[in-house]
Each structure stands twice: as structure tokens, then as C-alpha cells.
Amino acid sequence: MLASNHESDGPREACGVAGVYLPSLSGYEAASVAFHALFALQHRGQESAGIAASDGRNIRNFTNEGLVSNAFRQEDIERLPGHIA
């Protein structure tokens, strides 16, 4: 019989994950909403952050090191169009 040590299973760092789905005609970009959600969760993991966004056809992503507030510039978020993030 194999014993499982749960402390060694899986990732050891804390992280925050958020998902956003908006109606495509809502007027909001999901990446912008996801940025604010990640900002609220950044105490869960402070080494890096990333957002992937989709318009239903294409998926674009951006990742960077550091706190959420430092990892993304407004231009980075604007390059992630779509209603899913």
C-alpha cells in the first residue's frame, strides 16, 4: 500500500483564480473585470499574475511577474478583448 503525503502533492504556493463571463453586448471587457478580481485576490500569490481572454473565437493571454498592480499596464489589458476571461 502506498501512503500519500498530502503536503507534497500538488502546488505548494497559494494562488488566486477568477473567472469572468459577460454577455457579449454588455459593453464591458472581461479582462478589465478579471484584473480587478485578481487585484482583490493578490494576497493569495504575489510572485506573478496572468489573464487569458476570449471573444469566443480566439484566446489571447498576458502574464508577468510581480503584484497584479505592477504586472499589468492599461495597454496590456486593452490587448485582451473579449467577453470571457
**3 labelled catalytic:** no
**Partners of 59 in the β-ladder:** 54
Going by C-alpha positions, the residue among 54, 48, 49 that lies closest to residue 37 is 49
Q: Which is the catalytic residue, given 14, 15, 40, 59?
A: 15
CA dist 52 and 60 (Å) reads: 6
End-to-end Cα separation, the chain, in angstroms: 42
Residues designated as active site: 15
